Amino acid sequence: MLLQDKKLLITGVLKDSSIAFHVARLAQEHGAEVVLTSFGRTMRITQAVSRRLSEPVQIVELDVSNTEQLETLADRVGEHVDHLDGVLHSIGFAPKGAFDFMGAPWEDVSTALQISAYSLKSLTTAALPLMGRGSSVVGLTFDASYAWPVYDWMGVAKAAFESTSRYLARDLGPMGIRSNLVAAGPVSTTAANSIPEFEQFAKWGEHAPLGWDVRDPVPAAKGCIALFSDLFPCTTGEIVHVDGGFHATGF
């Protein structure tokens, strides 16, 4: 029971195949109380998927590009839990045009940067009134050390995302709050399936020392659970690779 009595805010639950769903599932199994976020037309999807969790959950509306919803998030989450021990950032979006690096207009690039990078800071700031010493921010990334095929401006956004986590680690550290990321190998999530030619990553497991299954989100979810736990009390600004070891050998 790594998360006994902890309270977590989890974004990004859209399918039971998502990493975020399995973070929520495992968190409950480890004793945590979970609150989810969703927004707009996806609220119904999140409500339906949440019924597959072992315990009922509350769902709070949050569009990370909506200033009013961000400003009222702590109050609305506070109607369900009296504090937060952790926040999972599992949010990413880029318009189709952002997957054409040389041709992408700024409008598409700016959307990708706001939703996929700046939102880590805005979500954390919005939740901060409910967080105290020992709490943890965990985000999901895809290793931004390389210029991947087809990833284009989303890759740039992930690089900004990873830098944002380091700056959050700097500024939240004096408050006793940690900020870390899990760099997952490719998983067939809703976000991944929106990437053109995502199937190029299907052979990842052939080159990862431990192997890798793009259909299995559980290893990445377990990495998030570990970072939410008290097992890493002095770890912040870190990127934990859960990718079968691919990052160490490359291809």
> Tell me: the pLDDT tens digits for 47-102?
999 999 999 999 999 999 999 999 999 999 999 999 999 999 999 999 999 999 99
Distance CA 92, CA 190 (A): 10
Q: Strands 58-61 and 178-184: what pairing?
A: unpaired
- Angle formed at CA 70 by CA 23 and CA 34, multiple of 5 degrees: 25
Give residue 74's domain range: 7-249
Whether residue 101 lies inside any domain: the answer is yes
CATH number of the domain that residue 25 is part of: 3.40.50.720
Q: How many domains does the chain contain in total?
A: 1
Domain assignment present for 166: yes
The band of 251, judged by pLDDT with boundaries at 50, 70 and 90, is: low
Residue 191 lies in a domain: yes
**Token pair in block for residue 58:** 């509350």
pLDDT for residue 206 is more than 90: no
Q: Worst-scoring range by mean pLDDT, 5-19, 60-74, 106-120, 192-206?
A: 192-206
Q: Residue 194: helix, strand or coil by DSSP?
A: coil
- Give the separation between CA 123 and CA 226, rounded to whole angstroms: 21
Instruction: Give me the residues paired with residue 178 across strands.
Output: 136
**Structure tokens, 50:** 């949440």
Bridge partners, residue 58, by sequence:
35
Go through 88-120 and write b for each residue having 16 or more CB atoms within 10 A of its CB, e for each that does not. bbbbbbbbebbbeeeebeeebbebbbebbbbbb
**1 within a domain of the structure (yes/no):** no
Contacts of 233 (CB under 8 A, 6+ apart): 134
Is 2 domain-assigned? no
pLDDT at 198: 59
Q: With CA atoms as reference, report the closest residue to 108 among 54, 157, 49, 145.
A: 157
